[in-house]
Amino acid sequence: MSDTITLEGLEFFTLIGDLPHERTTPQPLELDVEVRADLAPAGRSDRLDDSLDYRLLYRAVAEAVEDRAEGAPHLLEAIAERVAGRLLALKGVEGVRVRCRKPKAVLPGPVAKVEIEIERP
Q: Are 86 and 60 in contact (CB under 8 A)?
A: yes
Task: State whether residue 34 is helix, strand or coil.
Answer: strand
Q: Decide if 91 is catalytic.
A: no
Q: What torsion, rounded to 10 degrees, do the Cα atoms 60, 61, 62, 64 define? A: 90
Beta bridge partners of 7: 33
Q: Which of 91, 102, 104, 113 is catalytic?
A: 102
Find the distance separating the first CA and the last CA of the chain, reported in whole Å: 13
CA distance 10 to 55: 12
* Residues belonging to the active site: 102
